[in-house]
Amino acid sequence: MSRALRLVLDNIHDRAELSATTEAQGLSIGNTQRNERNRVWRSTDTSTQVITGTLAAGAYVDDIVILGHNLTSAGTLRVELLSGSTVIRDSGEVSTGEIIPAGIWRAGIDPYMATYNDKLKVPTKRLTVTPAAITGYRLTLNDPSNPAGALEVARVVLGLAFEPTTNMSYGVQTTWVDPATHERSAGQTLRTIGGGHPRKQVRFSLDWLTPGDRERLIEEIAEIGMIRDVFVDLYPDSTGLERLSAQFVGRMSEGYGDTHDHYRNRSTTLTITEV
């Protein structure tokens, strides 16, 4: 199991004032603050695009994620974190290609340097930096040969990740929940109604919560409830589909609760469903 899961419990991006180099009609940068999957930001062409966020109040951050993007394996993402007009963190240009790792790549079947970019419904790219106090940020997207003729991002997450002192316990459950139902026609043909749009649901236990861990969960989940979006990264140190398929934005499926089972220790089980 990877070192420790990471949860972004408070998405600073959702409170930022945003601008972008270009915006296609009806597909503004403000859509990256919304959950509807048909509402995305889209540029008007494949020129270099800069997304700028300005915060009304400073915030500490260390995780930056773009989700539902269409950047190819030839694309790059650059993240700059700002204090006033000063750049205090700069990722440089990072490839958005998610290469299929050795041991999974299939010789004679997968192309050389094949990637997962076009295999996932909601592609993600996450960057982690040393925690910093910021007042703004810039995301620079570059993919001039993108075959779609425009660049696209559905959701942006920016925040200070929660990483428990002790990782989640074994027994993590992941289910792709599909709202489909099966019905038989008069001729006994099996028909599927309302399917084809499964959402991930994960259930995991944190059995060794320190007082500090519990305090953050109470402040950022329990006191706000099931309406808050949470970015989930179950296996941040892993590779391939194990990591990529376990990264998503979701919401708590039930209210927070914990058990005081040992001296200065609490345990809890969280269930989070993809939005």
Model's pTM, two decimal places? 0.91
215 residue type, one letter: E
For the chain, percent of residues with pLDDT exceeding 70: 98
- In angstroms, the first-to-last Cα distance of the chain is 25
| Six token digits for residue 111 | 């192309």
pLDDT in tens, 19-30: 999 999 999 999
Domains belonging to the chain, first-starting first, are: 12-159 (2.60.120.260), 173-274 (2.40.30)
pLDDT in tens, 55-83: 999 999 999 999 999 999 999 999 999 99
d(CA 266, CA 106): 45
How many angstroms separate the Cα of 1 from the Cα of each of 99, 170, 174? 21, 8, 15
| Six token digits for residue 229 | 């979006």
